[in-house]
Amino acid sequence: MKKQMLLMVCLVFSLYTVAQVNLDNNSFEGTPKDAEMPNGWHSCNPGTTPDILPGPWGVVLEASDGNTFMGLITRDNGEWEAVGQRLRKPLTAKGCYTFTLDLAHSKTYNNYNNSIKLKIWGGKSRCTKDQLLTESKVITHSDWETYEFSISPEDTINYIIFEAFFGDDRIKPWKGNILIDNCSEIRKCDRA
């Protein structure tokens, strides 16, 4: 009886872990510093990297999880920052997945103070934006709020990319920022 119970617990646990994908350094922990990549992440736009906050650039908001978080910016010359990482397990084509992120905006980010949004891309290889999986609304609040995203890749996805982007694709670019923390595991959805 004990062996059967142990086997059942192991089976349930293995099914649970198969149905989720954890990201490396999902809370963007590191030493606060400007132009610094959080461990486990890589820059997807040459010549521009995120910031590990709080501290640099006048950003004083406390992290929503852990000690630090990541800040991404857009520039008035049309450039923007993006980071990505290889998923431990690929997301399958036509699968349904859900995850949460804590997002905020800083009103004091060394003149990168306008509100922007976050685009989330899926790719087959490093930094390729093969499919726009989802995007946030323009983030105007300066306190952390948790956003839930549901995604359904058209093809198998090996990489995820978080990209800062201007609020409206048709308007000229501006200096803006978005703060990101506490990314949950990516879980399979229940479909009715």
- In the prediction, which pLDDT does 1 show? 55
d(CA 18, CA 13): 9
Instruction: Give 33's DSSP letter.
Output: B
pLDDT band, residue 9 (cuts 50/70/90): very low
pLDDT at 12 over 50: no
- Could you report the per-residue pLDDT of 139-192, keeping only the tens digit for each? 999 999 999 999 999 999 999 999 999 987 667 899 999 999 999 999 999 764
The 10s digit of each residue's pLDDT in 108-140 is 999 999 999 999 999 999 999 999 999 999 999
**Residue 8 in this model has a pLDDT that exceeds 80:** no
> Please, what's the b/e burial string for 46-80 (b: 16 or more CB within 10 A of its CB; e: otherwise)?
eebbbbbbbebbebebebbbeebbbbbbbbeeeeb
Q: What confidence score (pLDDT) does residue 47 get? A: 84
Residue 111: the pLDDT is 95
Q: Count the Cβ atoms, other than its own, within 10 Å of residue 145.
A: 12
Average pLDDT, the chain: 90
pLDDT at residue 21, rounded to an integer = 95
pLDDT more than 90, % of the chain: 83
Place of tokens 């694709």: 169
Whole-model pTM: value is: 0.89
Q: Of the CATH numbers 2.60.120.260, 3.40.50.620, 3.40.605.10, 3.30.980.10, which one belongs to the domain with range 2-188?
A: 2.60.120.260
Contacts of 121 (CB under 8 A, 6+ apart): 82, 84, 129, 130, 131, 132, 133, 160, 161, 163
